[in-house]
A and B are shown apart, each in its own frame.
Chain A
Amino acid sequence: MDHKYLLTIDQLQLKLPCMDRAILQDINYSINPGDFVVVLGGNGSGKSSLIKAINRGYPITGGIISFQQQPVASYCAADFAKEVITLTQDTSQSLFNDLTVLENCLLWELRHKHVSLQCATHQERALFHEYLVAFNPQLPDKLDTTCARLSGGEKQALILALCLRHPPTLLLLDEHTSALDPKTAHYIMGRTHTELLEHHITCLMTTHDLEDALMYGNRLLALKEGRIVYQADGAQKAGLQRSDLLTLCY
């Protein structure tokens, strides 16, 4: 078989020592390069845990998760950081809140660079001034503002900009627009989608927004009590209605 999956999840089991029931059980799933997988499921169904199992936030207790034919656990931190990025609704996990926008940009650049004794230059400043405007017109004027003082929409736009500076191979989105107002959420979601297509980024996204689940992605996966209860690909997913999702996925 020549087909190379980007990510394969094989017999995944995830159990935390403090809980008697497994959070994730018997998960088998493979993701092709370029796939956009939408993950649905109620609260506590294991959506976020699945993301954390993939990004090594939780040590898995059974099965194996392979990324580019290599177990995720075997990657060194620096290599994994270049390939995989996770965004959540909690922007404080993706930003250094007491540091300025520019300092955050410089730090995120270190995903691809070694830490040096170089000082911040005017060129770098000009570079990010120009780069950020495409994501949010206010951001370039706030290079010296600390991130804690940005609005929720500005933060999420900045985070998106930061993670697309050097596009990852796999982007994990954990309800990244759920804390935003409808208009901003719509903008960020649309923007995310455009960038995914443009840079051929593979994406796994959890969401509670059924409109988004119908509109975006070529594959759909539903979890319930830690198990896969429904999946649909390609044309089958495209034919789904809102009412289908409610009956099939929850």
Chain B
Amino acid sequence: MDIIIPALEQSALFFPLALGIYLSYGILRTTDLTIDGSFVLGAAVFARLLTGGMNPWMSLLVAILAGFLAGIGVSFIQKGGRINGLIAGVLALFILYSVNFQVMSRPNISLYNAQSLFAPALNLGESGQWIMLIALVMLILIFIAFLLKTRLGLVLRAFGDNPYLLKNIGKSIEGYRFFGLALANGLAACCGALSAQIHGYADINMGFGVTLTGIGAVVIGQQLMKRFTTNRPFSVTLDLTGCFIGVFLYFLMINIFLRVGIDPINLKLVLGLVLIFFLRAASSRQQGMLYGS
């Protein structure tokens, strides 16, 4: 239990970002590394505004908007297909490092003395903030699930499947890339702000590797769902459940590794190896024909 509960809490906190990754990597099928930077941007904007005396919920909203802007920025870099999506993400990440520093004006902001986002629930003690966090994450989840069930969600999936055809049907593919990446980065920024609130600080380096973690978790989840349900068409419920299971398993692994005494310095090494295993398993069926003997 003392492994599962922290893992569940960490998963709930991380889930908005995983949903963002699911949108960009799973639905739009672009690998957007900007997420690393947007995560910090969200935390930075939130922490700066909160310590400046702004209402916590307004600060969260502005942090999410900042994430949207980062997503729009990276779509601009990619616009017209002139710069590869991966490179565009790395570029945006590079730029965001400076931006985040400017926003925070120092490498680390403590929220210890600031008003809390979860102040209304603090009389419930430690669990109060988690209840509020989970409620908030549930709202985000419902919003994304609804979005994916609509015609707009279908078009986003069509973008990932065959952007050329989507263009021939007369739709602006740049517009949908804008929308998808803005949403993904907004979710990442939201996750960054929530993390800053829960951990009590924003740090310029807190985003290192979160995209990779997210992709790993989403892929683990999708792999598992594929094993249990063969040849199913797209299902929002199953996919999003898969996402959560993937995120949960990831944090469960971290907690177990730490418990069995793996040096935290080596944690990324071990997790990296696990991710390589899952990412290879995910693509073996698609590309095995080319490289197989």
Contact = CB atoms under 8 A, between A and B. Distances in A.
A94 B168 CA distance: 9
Nearest to B168: A81
B199 interface: no
A119 interface: yes
Interface in A99-127: 99-100, 103, 106-108, 110-111, 115-120
Nearest to A100: B233
A108 B233 contact: no
Contacts of B168: 81, 86
Which of B158, B168, B171 has its CB near the most chain A CB atoms (within 10 A)?
Answer: B168
A96 B162 CA distance: 6
B152 interface: yes
Which of B149, B150, B151, B172 has its CB near the most chain A CB atoms (within 10 A)?
Answer: B151
Given A115-B152, A146-B233, A99 B171 contact: no
Given A82-B170, A86-B168, A115 B161 contact: no
Contacts of A115: 151-152, 155, 171
Contacts of A77: 167, 170-172
B169 A111 contact: yes
Given A106-B151, A107-B155, A118-B150, A99 B161 contact: yes
B154 A103 contact: yes
B152 A116 contact: yes
A93 B165 contact: yes
B165 A94 contact: yes
Contacts of B151: 106, 110, 115-120
B150 A92 contact: no
A111 B170 contact: yes
Which of B152, B158, B170 has its CB near the most chain A CB atoms (within 10 A)?
Answer: B170
Nearest to A147: B161
A77 B164 CA distance: 12
Main SS of the interface on chain B? Answer: helix
Contacts of B157: 96, 99, 103
B34 to A, nearest CB: 24
Interface residues of A, number: 32
A181 interface: no
Interface in B138-185: 147, 149-152, 154-155, 157-158, 161-162, 164-172
B162 A97 contact: yes
Contacts of A92: 162
Contacts of B228: none
B291 interface: no
A78 interface: yes
A145 B233 CA distance: 7
A124 B149 CA distance: 14
B233 A144 contact: yes
A163 to B, nearest CB: 11
A79 interface: yes
A79 B170 contact: yes
A98 interface: yes
A114 to B, nearest CB: 9
B235 to A, nearest CB: 10
Contact of B154 (A79, A80, A82, A106): A106
A95 interface: yes
Contacts of A119: 149-151
A236 to B, nearest CB: 35
Contacts of B167: 77
7 shortest A-B CB distances, which residue pairs?
A: A81-B170, A78-B170, A96-B161, A117-B150, A100-B233, A98-B161, A77-B170
13 contacts: A77-B171, A82-B170, A93-B162, A93-B165, A96-B158, A96-B165, A97-B162, A99-B157, A107-B169, A110-B155, A110-B169, A111-B170, A116-B150
Given A82-B170, A93-B162, A115-B155, 19 more contacts: A77-B170, A77-B172, A79-B170, A81-B169, A86-B168, A96-B157, A96-B162, A97-B161, A99-B157, A100-B233, A100-B234, A103-B158, A103-B233, A103-B234, A106-B154, A110-B169, A110-B170, A115-B151, A119-B149
